[in-house]
Chains A and B, each alone.
Chain A
């Protein structure tokens, strides 16, 4: 299972998060359109889908169903782990 850092290490996944920060709650179609037009990233829909799954696994993304539609939302809460790990004066043994 990928961890937060692995999830963020891939430029495409950071671009996806950028796109969702522009407008939260996008369909897969809109994410793909934004990536190809605005970020000039040519990825297949399947590739974008796989990146979304990784982001969802580490909690950076949530998927909601509204009737028949599926929307993707960015969730920045896991990023606090990064802040807590290095920017707060906590003992290092607390973070294996």
Chain B
């Protein structure tokens, strides 16, 4: 058994695809129609055979309150590994991304948290 797909709930799949590819730098992997929505995944160019991130519609009524509660308390719904949190932070800020937490050393890890513009907070993590 292995993890192949994990997901984030997004408010708009097309907007999410743009943000996750053009701003973050992931690549589109799968894009197939699924009813009113799409089975839409992105993958890291550093590991094209690796775990796919599903940009999942957040239309289910339970998802809205769940996402809002997490954002309210500043809790990220996913965490991505980067080589240099500070460099990624600077690059993304320049691209207009809003961070709720700038890079901070937390023992063995440096983390930062940003808004993915689709209703989620995402953590960047760099292990030392």
Contact = CB atoms under 8 A, between A and B. Distances in A.
B106 A70 contact: no
A27 B111 contact: no
Q: Which of A29, A33, A69 has the most CB of B within 10 A?
A: A29
Nearest to B102: A23
A68 B72 CA distance: 6
Interface in B91-128: 100-102, 104, 106-107, 111, 113, 115, 121
A14 interface: no
A69 B115 CA distance: 10
B106 A45 contact: no
B24 interface: no
A37 B74 contact: no
A27 to B, nearest CB: 2
A34 interface: yes
Contacts, number: 48
Given A27-B113, A33-B111, A45 B68 contact: no
B73 A28 contact: yes
B68 A30 contact: no
Interface in A30-58: 30, 33-34, 37-38, 45
Contacts of B68: 68
A28 B101 CA distance: 11
A33 B103 CA distance: 13
B106 A69 contact: no
B43 to A, nearest CB: 27
Contacts of A45: 73
Interface of A: 23, 26-30, 33-34, 37-38, 45, 68-71
Given A28-B75, A45-B73, 11 more contacts: A27-B113, A29-B101, A29-B121, A30-B74, A30-B101, A30-B113, A68-B71, A68-B72, A68-B115, A69-B74, A69-B100
